Structures are given as C-alpha cells and as structure tokens.
Amino acid sequence: MGRYLKAFFVALAFPALMHLFLALGGFLQLRSSSASWGEAINVAGDSPLNLALVQAAATGVLFIVAFPHRRREGGLLESVEVRPLVGGIVALCFLAGAFMQLPLAEVGNLVQEVWPLSFDELARRYRMVNPSTWWAGMSISVALVIVAPVTEELLFRGWLLQDLKEPYGDAPALIWSSLLFGLVHAGGGVSAIVYGTLGGLVLGAVALRTKSTLSSIAMHAGVNALPLLLPASLLRVDGFNTLSQEVEHISGWLVLLALAGAGAALSIVWRGTSEPSG
C-alpha cells in the first residue's frame, strides 16, 4: 500500500500547490494582504498564463521534492518515459484525442443531469475556450494545449502510473492513477471527476501501449485543443461549444462518429507499437 498512498498524497499536493501559487500571485496583483484567499486565487486565475505558470511551478516542485531518486539516474526524459515514437504515432494520438473530446464532453453532460454545474461556472468555461482577442487566444492555447498536457502527463502517466506499475502491475496502476487524475479535477464538480477519470484511463492505456509518455501528451493536447479549434462560429455543436441555462446534449450520431474516428486512429497506433511489458 506504500506506493498507493504516496501517489495519493502526490496527486493531492498538485492542486494544493497550484492554489498556493495562485493565491500568492493574486496577492501580488492586488498589492494587498487584506484580500481574502479566495479573492486572490480568483484574480490570478483569470489569466491563462498565470494558470500555466503555476501549473508548471507546482509540477516542478513535486519533481524536485518527491520524485523517486532511483529513477533519476537515466536522465530526466527517460525517467518519465518520454521516448521518441515513429511512423506518425504522435500525430495519430493527437487526432485520437481530438475525436475523444466529444464523447468525453457528452459524458460530462450526462453527469450534469444529476449533478448540475452553476451557470456562472459554465459561462467561465465557455469564455476560456472562446477568447475575444488574439492575445487571449494565444495565452489559452499555451495553457491548455501545451502546459497542461505536458505537466499533467509527466506527473500522472510519466511518474505515478509507471511508479505504481512496477510493484502492482499494469491494470491496478492504470486504475489508481486514473482515479487520482479525476480527483485532482474535483474543483470542476462531479462531471470533471468522471471526465478526468475516463480520460485518464484512455491516456494511461496509450502510454502503456506505446511505452512513451509522448503519446499521452499528444493525445491530451488533442483533447484540449478541439474546443479551441472548433468554436461555435465555425460549426455549432449543441452540448459542446454552446452556452445554455439547461443541459444540452451532443448528437448521438456525432458521438458515435467521433468514437469511430478515435478508434480508427488508436487501432493504427496499436498496430504500430509493440506490446506493453507486463
């Protein structure tokens, strides 16, 4: 149980450090120590670049403080399973991730039927992926498509998944690391926990299959990129890129088409990579 508990505490430390750094940044922006902790976090969190910086900082602190020393000897990239992939595998993983966004989004919609989010939270998410200026668009792209996939995949698939796999095997490691990945998204409500857990299972399976965290980074980037690449102004998709007081749902046919696309891309990835080591 030792590594399970360590993984649990490392995962919990990740959002805790992010909130700490966001609060410190917010106090600096407000130039006041009388503001509340929540106000400081909200002020700093309004900037995507702040989110990117604190996520990178939180990941760096965890790696410096808690990353196993036995895995540092082979070099940083090798220690977190970042290995080169050939034959367009990275591009296929990105494509599969973009397709997977729609089924995952619909799962989130279904969960919201039972545990709804406030309209304010939905509006905040909508604004994040619908920037009003080019600078905001660039900032959000850096935060969501580069920093978040790299930091989260290095932490959860490059570190925790691999660390758990050694003593417990692939399946328990995949399940526990995915549950922890869902848990760190608890701030987004129950739908975010379910979304993160299911996404973590797919990302972890891809990382295990390819034996490279580079594949899960690419897939994660694809998942996060689709809302930016497919705004309602380009193609309106109810339940995905729209904002409504009521829970909307993505067309079932569209979800099935997206699943087929993701399955086709991943089937090529599976055929082009070796069997994962047991």
Predicted pLDDT of residue 275: 59
User: Does residue 47 lie in a domain region?
Assistant: no
Say what the pTM is.
0.94
User: Does residue 16 lie in a domain region?
Assistant: no
* pLDDT tens string 83-142: 999 879 999 999 999 999 999 999 999 999 999 999 998 998 898 899 888 888 999 999
User: Does residue 213 lie in a domain region?
Assistant: yes
User: Does residue 87 lie in a domain region?
Assistant: yes
Amino acid at 100: M
User: Does residue 62 lie in a domain region?
Assistant: no
User: Does residue 220 lie in a domain region?
Assistant: yes
Which residue range forms the structural domain that includes residue 209? Answer: 76-271
Residues of the chain with pLDDT > 90: what percent?
76
* Count of domains observed in the chain: 1
User: Does residue 14 lie in a domain region?
Assistant: no
User: Does residue 245 lie in a domain region?
Assistant: yes
Token reading at 12: 């919990």
Mark the ranges of the chain whose per-residue pLDDT is less than 50.
276-278
* pLDDT tens string 40-57: 888 888 889 999 999 999
